């Protein structure tokens, strides 16, 4: 009996010695690897923060893990990537009056008063108003705002971030009068009076009176945005357009292990910030990638800043203009091309998209793999689709298509709307789509992005009618847009975007298989856990 026991113990230790030790084993799962063949697996192991092996249940016997997860058949996907978001704006919302879903100026004033009673700020900041949700859009001026707040400046940002509604006190402090003009922006006037509405570059006149948020506030903002990202299954976020100072704040917080979220940070189109990185080179760590410049070609459609080829359907004689001249765009494109930086240009109106496509194609002629991006690419003239190609990646937000469609019809008219938000057409020409939300303009939830891309309906909306269903993406395409294609758009496809050996062990566990359940059930799906580098950063256990 002793000999038998000794033999069994010896066999156990021999097996343990032969079995490779790893940090984590996940098995009994339905794993969508999103690799080139879109293979499925049931198990994988993680070692030193990276996927070490991917396969079937044979991995259970092959490895000795420090931790084991029996997924009980749940679906596992690569960590989601939001290809276009605004972490600072999302986090800083906690210091501003929340004006989302307000129905008019009276409700806005009520919200502001509640906010001011709580914070007693020297300048009142708010954001999220959208006149397209108001029953009476004729009252887009600051008359009531002036009466309610005559002695304190009030600066309220539109939901798309491209317009301010400010009171008279703010106008006076900014030195704006009826004769003030600004290139690339609009100071809206009506019946010989200033309305308090400032569009695009005109915002800068008021921004100079708004004090910069402190490092402490920005740090709190980033940590709050990280929390929301992990709760929603995001392991990487593309931060659209920030300064050198904010990039280094992110880097410092990541080095202190306070900020664990992976961030693809686009440099804002500011000479000081661009010159710094041109001189010093790109910044790349496991958590931060600074390889691109964000440029604004025009404004937003909702605020009337999108540059159109023909007049707005609801504003005859008005097309809006580019925010940057074609010559300036060409000079910047040539510089970035020469220095091998990616150029990511915001272009929403068809005139802006056409200009950017012409510049890109001229500059990129001999470049083999530039992966330059057009952010949003919402309104496109039918004849311009062939100008997209494998060198130009559309970075789009499917939720915009369905949340904009009703008021976009009035802005564009039926005919022009047909070639707008045309994601399937864009995919056919470019071969790749990077998907995002543009949060906090839209909700940060990538499952809503997935749903909107596939169903072409508003998440949770009352309407059951799909918007231009011919431009819906398949579930396969939508998943790629949130994972491998988004990583590719960031030059990061070798380190993330799929569950493959050697890549970062970033993955999420869902309580439903979004590739199989009824599409309406996707919105009820819960993030069970978000894992970064093989470690849990968010858990939502039943």
Check residue 259 and give its pLDDT: 98
| Confidence band of 119 (pLDDT split at 50, 70, 90) | confident
pLDDT tens digits for range 475-518: 999 999 999 999 999 999 999 999 999 999 999 999 999 999 99
pLDDT tens digits for range 302-345: 989 999 999 999 999 999 999 999 999 999 999 999 999 999 99
Q: Which contiguous run of DSSP H or E holds residue 507? A: strand 507-510
- Decide if pLDDT at 462 tops 90: no
- Decide if pLDDT at 247 tops 70: yes
Angle subtended by helix axes 446-455 and 475-482, to nearest 10: 150
SS3 readout for 280-322: HCCEECCCEEEEEEEEECCCCCCCCCCCCCCCECCECCCCCCC
Select from 332, 390, 382, 320 the least CA-distant residue to 356.
Answer: 332
Check residue 184 and give its pLDDT: 87
| Confidence band of 3 (pLDDT split at 50, 70, 90) | very low
Check residue 370 and give its pLDDT: 97
Listed in order, strand segments (DSSP E) in 145-275 are 154-158, 163-166, 185-190, 193-200, 234-242, 262-268
Check residue 231 and give its pLDDT: 98
Cα–Cα distance, 482 to 449 (Å, whole number): 9
- Decide if pLDDT at 6 tops 50: no
Q: What is the DSSP string of 461-494?
A: -S----SSGGGPPPHHHHHHHHTHHHHHHTT-TT
CA distance readout (Å), 524 to 178, 225, 467: 51, 22, 21
In 19-153, alpha helices (H): 58-62, 87-92, 105-119, 143-148
| Confidence band of 18 (pLDDT split at 50, 70, 90) | low
Cα–Cα distance, 135 to 142 (Å, whole number): 17
Check residue 299 and give its pLDDT: 95
Cα–Cα distance, 31 to 28 (Å, whole number): 9
Check residue 1 and give its pLDDT: 42
Check residue 463 and give its pLDDT: 64
| Confidence band of 53 (pLDDT split at 50, 70, 90) | very high
DSSP β-ladder status, 342-347 and 372-376: parallel
User: Could you tell me the two tokens for 64?
Assistant: 């000795």
What is the mean pLDDT of the segment spanning 390-401?
97
pLDDT tens digits for range 145-200: 999 999 999 999 998 889 999 999 999 999 999 999 998 889 999 888 899 999 99
What is the mean pLDDT of the segment spanning 259-276?
97
Check residue 16 and give its pLDDT: 46
Three-state secondary-structure class, residue 27: strand
| Confidence band of 95 (pLDDT split at 50, 70, 90) | confident
pLDDT tens digits for range 432-450: 999 999 999 999 999 999 9
Sign, CA dihedral 133-139-142-144, equals negative
Cα–Cα distance, 426 to 490 (Å, whole number): 18
Name the most confidently modeled range: 15-24, 98-107, 458-467. Answer: 98-107
**Average pLDDT, whole number, for the chain?**
93
Q: Work out the percent of the chain whose per-residue pLDDT is above 90.
A: 86
Cα–Cα distance, 281 to 290 (Å, whole number): 9
CA distance readout (Å), 507 to 46, 85, 258, 374, 483: 11, 20, 20, 27, 10
The total number of residues written for the chain in this structure: 542
- Decide if pLDDT at 264 tops 80: yes
- Decide if pLDDT at 125 tops 90: yes
Contact between residue 234 and residue 79 where contact means Cβ atoms under 8 Å apart? yes
What is the mean pLDDT of the segment spanning 289-301?
97
pLDDT tens digits for range 396-431: 999 999 999 989 999 999 999 999 999 999 999 999
Contact between residue 93 and residue 217 where contact means Cβ atoms under 8 Å apart? no
Check residue 118 and give its pLDDT: 83
Q: Work out the percent of the chain whose per-residue pLDDT is above 70.
A: 95
| Confidence band of 205 (pLDDT split at 50, 70, 90) | very high
DSSP β-ladder status, 30-32 and 507-510: unpaired
């Amino acid at each position: 009996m002793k000999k038998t026991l000794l033999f069994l113990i010896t066999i156990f230790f021999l097996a343990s010695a032969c079995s490779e030790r790893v940090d984590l084993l996940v098995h009994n799962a339905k794993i969508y690897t999103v690799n080139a063949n879109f293979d499925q697996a049931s198990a994988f192991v993680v070692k030193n923060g990276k996927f070490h092996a991917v396969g079937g249940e044979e991995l259970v016997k092959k490895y000795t893990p420090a931790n084991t997860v029996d997924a009980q058949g749940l679906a596992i996907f690569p960590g989601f990537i939001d290809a276009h978001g605004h972490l600072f704006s999302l986090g800083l919302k906690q210091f501003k009056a929340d004006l989302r879903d307000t129905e008019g100026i009276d409700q806005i004033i009520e919200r502001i008063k509640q906010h001011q009673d709580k914070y007693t700020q020297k300048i009142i900041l708010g954001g999220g108003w959208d006149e397209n949700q108001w029953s009476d859009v004729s009252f887009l001026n600051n008359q009531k705002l002036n009466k309610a707040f005559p002695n304190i400046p009030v600066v309220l940002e539109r939901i798309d971030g491209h317009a301010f509604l400010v009171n008279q006190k703010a106008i006076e402090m900014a030195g704006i009068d009826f004769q003030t003009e600004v290139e690339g922006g609009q100071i809206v006037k009506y019946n010989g009076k200033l309305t308090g509405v400032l569009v695009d570059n005109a915002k800068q006149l008021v921004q100079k009176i708004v004090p910069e948020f402190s490092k402490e506030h920005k740090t709190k903002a980033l940590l709050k945005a990280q929390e929301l990202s992990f709760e929603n299954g995001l392991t990487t976020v593309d931060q659209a357009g920030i300064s050198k100072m904010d990039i280094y704040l992110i880097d410092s917080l990541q080095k202190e292990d306070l900020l664990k979220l992976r961030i693809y940070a686009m440099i804002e189109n500011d000479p000081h910030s661009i010159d710094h990185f041109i001189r010093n080179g790109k910044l790349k760590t496991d958590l931060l990638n600074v390889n691109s410049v964000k440029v604004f070609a025009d404004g937003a459609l909702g605020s009337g800043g999108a540059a159109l080829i023909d007049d707005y359907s609801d504003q005859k004689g008005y097309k809006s203009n580019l925010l940057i001249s074609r010559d300036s765009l060409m000079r910047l494109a040539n510089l970035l091309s020469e220095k091998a930086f990616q150029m990511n240009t915001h272009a929403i109106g068809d005139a802006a998209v056409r200009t950017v496509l012409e510049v890109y194609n001229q500059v990129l002629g001999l470049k083999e793999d530039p992966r330059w991006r057009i952010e949003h690419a919402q309104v496109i003239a039918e004849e311009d689709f062939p100008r997209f190609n494998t060198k130009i990646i559309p970075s789009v937000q499917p939720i915009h298509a369905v949340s904009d469609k009703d008021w976009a019809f009035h802005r564009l008219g039926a005919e022009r709307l047909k070639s707008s938000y045309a994601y399937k057409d864009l995919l056919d020409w470019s071969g790749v789509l990077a998907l995002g939300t543009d949060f906090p303009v839209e909700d940060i939830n990538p499952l809503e992005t997935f749903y909107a891309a596939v169903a072409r309906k508003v998440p949770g909306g009352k309407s059951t009618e799909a918007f231009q269903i011919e431009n819906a993406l398949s579930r396969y395409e939508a998943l790629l847009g949130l994972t491998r294609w988004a990583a590719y758009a960031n030059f990061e496809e070798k380190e993330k975007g799929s569950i493959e050996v050697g890549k970062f062990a970033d993955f999420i566990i869902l309580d439903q298989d979004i590739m199989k359940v009824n599409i309406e059930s996707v919105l009820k799906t819960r993030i069970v856990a978000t894992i970064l580098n093989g470690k849990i950063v968010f858990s939502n256990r039943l």
